[in-house]
Structure 1
Amino acid sequence: MSYALMNPIQSVKAAFVKQTKQENADYRVRINKSLIAIKYLLRSVMPFRGNDEKHDSPFKGPFLELVETLKEANPEIASVLDRAPGNNYMTAPRIQKDLASACAYEITKQIVCDIADDVFCVLIDESGDVAGKEQMAIVVRYVNSEGLVKERFLGIVSVKETSAKSLKEVLEKMLSVNGLSLSSIRGQGYDRASNMRGKFGGLRTLIQNENPSAYYVHCFAHQLQLALVACAQAHKGVSGFFGNVNILVNFIRSSNKRQELLRDKQVAEFAQLIEDGEIETGSGLNQQSSIARAGDTR
């Protein structure tokens, strides 16, 4: 039936339905386009954001550049984006985070389904981030239905305390949220910190009090780190180099005047490099920072 044969109210309703269908179809194209880009970046373990995401930037960052590539490769995506409002491209940072969180949720759900009702091991480490907050990373190790050993990152949680009791509560909550339990743990892998491996009040002991089958193994990655540190300390050239670095760092950090002189020198060098076009400029780049003491890990 044509709009001419309808009364005005019917014509408006039909036009509204048609417009709504078109908007829904466009929305699906925009969201799918962003989701395809995010899935690719997640698989490639690449960052999303760029240093300069302005319209005239030569490189807007991996996510926006990939969206532009999809637009060039697919005429349908190009057509939808060309007629979309400027604030409805589905490429905003918040939308990127929401879609990445949705992907993380689906991946975690698949990991839990892969474990099913079988047993697993947990690998845990905690350390402070650049913001000064303590973070605890949790990895599960299990054998899937095909008999293959898998190690999968389950999540990272901010912890207010690093006591064994607090870490155990966080671990229990993380496992419970994902449908897992402490009773299914058959192995624990931590470093040698007392709050982790302590025989009397460590995390491994608290778990073994409830589940004696959760055997503790010193984390192999941490053992490798300790071996590398020991080798470096035994090598005169390497140990001498890092010893001189520590002396220099301590000498500069002991005086605010020396630190200010170093910052002034860095500012002058960066200004020259920017003028010569050897380094890029943009949001978050070339920030002032203090000198960190070189620890074993560094």
Structure 2
Amino acid sequence: MKDLTIEKGGNDESLSSSNRGNFLELMKAFAKMNIEIDEVVLENAPKNAQYIASEIQKEILHIMANRVRQMVREEVGDKYFCILVDEARDISKREQMAIILSVSDTTSMNLKNEISNVLVHHDLHVKKIRGQGYDGASNMRGAWNGLQALFLKDCPYAYYVHCFAHRLQLTLVSAAKDVSVIWEFFSHLDNIVNIVTSSTKRIAELHTAQRNEIEYMLSIGERDSGSGANQIGNLQRAGATRWSSHCDSVKSLIGMYTAICKVFEVLSDYSPNGRVKAKVRGIYRNMGSFEFVFILHLMHKIMRTTDTLCQILQRKSQDILTAITFVTITKTCLQEFRECGWNEFLQEVKVFCSRNEIDVPDLDCLYKIGRSCRQTTIEHHYHFDVFNAAIDFILMELNTRFNESSVELLSLSTALDPKNSFDPFNSDDICKLAKKFYPGDFTDKEIVALEYELIHYKLDVMQNLKVSTLVELCQQLTESGRSSVYVMLTRLIHLVLTLPVSTATTERAFSAMKHVKTALRNKMEDDFLADCLTLYIERDLAKHIDMLNLRHPLNQQLLSIKSGKILLTIVKEQLDEMDPEIPVKLQKNRSFVSKSAIALIYQFYDS
């Protein structure tokens, strides 16, 4: 039950029902495959020890989820930690936080109280917080009354870092709104997606057109055959909150451009009424223009470059310094594309137009808007007014939103970055980082010790260790035993690694919530949802729960619930003494104890 996200109950769980629900039907399937299982489950188990009632199942899940929470708490130990918080609506339109809280009031003070209650419940002290990671909502990042400011009042070292992935999202969304040609392009793209995907008949026509195109391309040798190649797909819709979905939408349009044109040709001739026909023809006319194809390929180039950064920021483990490095790399790639990529890009657009029979204008002619004629050529317009302008705006937004030089904490932290053979190393900045931002973690004597450690560190670690990221450096220091030599430096590295990069971890919890709380289970209680999500998200930890050792506290809890209370009494009285009469006493109490529980105790007794 802990390994599967299945519906525990059914509408009719009676013996005469043909569908008693996923859980019971799965139990029946396992019973049919194994005689030993069949003898101890469902109708063959004692009536008071079947453990299929909804209340008992929820209680078992709650006990197991609590055990997983304890395992997570044990991993944290007495170390410093950061908090990542994000909100999303579940299928029943209730606001959920990623720490598996249900909240109706999402003001900063209410969020702070709810989070504090969770920390207190798990014996985690606010004074140990060394980082906060949220999105850019006003109730989160507000400098005076935002959630981050409220925690800073309780712990002055709980530094807030605006989610890097959210910053990138805001950058590209801003470009789509404020650059007219980009906004116009995405408006046309939305219309294309709406027309093609508005009915199953049109989707079927798209698939047929793709199939015909693939067969033709294979016959003339323009495509290679192979496993997984030449798959028929659908036109992707751009999401409101995921910029990577915009990249997927643009990429899918380029990949099936010819097939989509075939669909529009059919619709323009056979649409049911004049209004729809006029709309289809207008979109098709725009789609077949050089300007649309030019911007389509430009956005594809830009978004493929930024999507690499987006995917990096979504990784499970990422340190703040590596994230800053990849932001810089992305800026450099865009700048190089702007300065050196025009000729190659223009040639790529021309080849695409030639292959799809799209007219390419004479680029040396004067550019016209309506009846007016500007004193500039068409090539100049596309090169400087579209190509350069779009890239310049995105670079400007990236420089503004990722301007870490104005955030002294992050700029000083780069002195620890081991990239390029420890090129950013600066002992003064490292000492200033510890002294100014972590005075509660380093005394004056320890700052002096750090200064002397850095002298040896420069001659030892920087000459002998080959690492490229701060995480690798920390691992190498621990594995080589140098962490016990460079104690102060290791402590500072741990503090910097605690700083959050993005809220991708919390967003994965929301993705899991869609699998657990579905439309068919939209009335799940919040506590039950929290237990199911805990076991589903932390399934790697749940697999290590010891289900066979009866001395384990978890199993004593499991055996104590409901009808198993008498079994626990027998075990507690006799187990420690290893009474040889245990099997006999269990047999005498068979009417009160399930066979599966007896089998577990036999196994423990025999071992």
| TM-score between both structures, scaled by the size of structure 1 | 0.54
CA distance in 1, matches of 2:165, 2:26: 35
CA distance in 2, matches of 1:80, 1:60: 19
Residues 164-185 of structure 1 show CA distances to partners (whole Å, capped at 9, x for unaligned) of 1111111110000011011111
Task: Identify the match of residue 242 of structure 1 among 165, 173, 190.
Answer: 190
CA distance in 2, matches of 1:243, 1:192: 30
How far 1:72 moved relative to its partner? 3.4
CA distance in 1, matches of 2:93, 2:162: 26
Structure 1 residue 205 corresponds to structure 2 residue 168: no
Q: Residue 47 of structure 1 aligns to a residue in which SS?
A: coil
Task: Identify the match of residue 103 of structure 1 among 64, 87, 103.
Answer: 64
CA distance in 2, matches of 1:220, 1:49: 39
> Which amino acid letter does the alignment assign opposite residue 7 of structure 2?
F
CA distance in 2, matches of 1:185, 1:178: 14
CA distance in 2, matches of 1:161, 1:40: 33
Task: Identify the match of residue 7 of structure 2 among 48, 61, 67.
Answer: 48
> Which amino acid letter does the alignment assign opposite residue 40 of structure 1?
D
Task: Identify the match of residue 109 of structure 2 among 165, 189, 192.
Answer: 165
Structure 1 residue 76 corresponds to structure 2 residue 36: yes
Counterpart residue number, 1:39:
2
How far 1:56 moved relative to its partner? 1.6
Q: Residue 39 of structure 2 aligns to a residue in which SS?
A: helix
Radius of gyration: which is bigger? 2
Q: Residue 192 of structure 1 aligns to a residue in which SS?
A: coil
User: Which stretch shifts more, 112-121 or 79-88?
Assistant: 79-88
Structure 1 residue 133 corresponds to structure 2 residue 94: yes
With over 3 angstroms needed to count, the CA separation of the structure-2 counterparts of 1:110 and 1:239, relative to structure 1, is farther
Question: Which one has a larger percent strand, Structure 1 or Structure 2?
Answer: 1
Structure 1 residue 185 corresponds to structure 2 residue 90: no
How far 1:128 moved relative to its partner? 3.6
- Aligned residues: percent identity? 41
Residues 213-237 of structure 1 show CA distances to partners (whole Å, capped at 9, x for unaligned) of 1111112343354456467764755
With over 3 angstroms needed to count, the CA separation of the structure-2 counterparts of 1:210 and 1:95, relative to structure 1, is same
> Which amino acid letter does the alignment assign opposite residue 116 of structure 1?
G
How far 1:103 moved relative to its partner? 1.8
Residues 247-289 of structure 1 show CA distances to partners (whole Å, capped at 9, x for unaligned) of xxxxxxxxxxxxxxxxxxxxxxxxxxxxxxxxxxxxxxxxxxx
> Which amino acid letter does the alignment assign opposite residue 47 of structure 1?
I
CA distance in 1, matches of 2:151, 2:141: 11
CA distance in 1, matches of 2:107, 2:141: 12
- Alpha carbons 1:164, 1:196 under 8 Å: kept: yes
Q: Residue 6 of structure 2 aligns to a residue in which SS?
A: coil
Counterparts of residues 139-288 of structure 1 (less than 5 Å): 156-226=100-170, 229=173, 234=182, 238-242=186-190
Structure 1 residue 117 corresponds to structure 2 residue 65: no
Residues 86-110 of structure 1 show CA distances to partners (whole Å, capped at 9, x for unaligned) of 6853223333322222221111110
Question: Which one has a larger percent helix, Structure 1 or Structure 2?
Answer: 2
Q: How many residues align?
A: 195
Q: Residue 39 of structure 1 aligns to a residue in which SS?
A: coil
CA distance in 2, matches of 1:232, 1:39: 44
> Which amino acid letter does the alignment assign opposite residue 40 of structure 2?
V
CA distance in 1, matches of 2:185, 2:24: 46
- Alpha carbons 1:123, 1:219 under 8 Å: kept: no
- Alpha carbons 2:109, 2:147 under 8 Å: kept: yes
How far 1:211 moved relative to its partner? 0.9
With over 3 angstroms needed to count, the CA separation of the structure-2 counterparts of 1:128 and 1:212, relative to structure 1, is same
CA distance in 1, matches of 2:239, 2:162: 21
CA distance in 1, matches of 2:155, 2:57: 40
Q: Residue 3 of structure 2 aligns to a residue in which SS?
A: helix
- Alpha carbons 2:7, 2:21 under 8 Å: kept: no
What's the Cα RMSD here?
3.7
With over 3 angstroms needed to count, the CA separation of the structure-2 counterparts of 1:297 and 1:52, relative to structure 1, is farther
Question: Structure 2: which 5+ residue stretches go unaligned?
Answer: 195-237, 243-607
> Which amino acid letter does the alignment assign opposite residue 37 of structure 2?
I
- Alpha carbons 2:9, 2:54 under 8 Å: kept: no
Counterpart residue number, 2:24:
64
Question: Structure 1: which 5+ residue stretches go unaligned?
Answer: 1-37, 139-155, 247-293
With over 3 angstroms needed to count, the CA separation of the structure-2 counterparts of 1:229 and 1:85, relative to structure 1, is farther
Residues 14-56 of structure 1 show CA distances to partners (whole Å, capped at 9, x for unaligned) of xxxxxxxxxxxxxxxxxxxxxxxx1221xxxx33347766542
> Which amino acid letter does the alignment assign opposite residue 207 of structure 1?
F
Q: Residue 85 of structure 2 aligns to a residue in which SS?
A: strand
> Which amino acid letter does the alignment assign opposite residue 71 of structure 1?
A
With over 3 angstroms needed to count, the CA separation of the structure-2 counterparts of 1:129 and 1:60, relative to structure 1, is closer
Larger RCO, structure (CA 8 Å, separation 6 or more) = 2
- Alpha carbons 1:232, 1:239 under 8 Å: kept: no
CA distance in 1, matches of 2:87, 2:183: 30
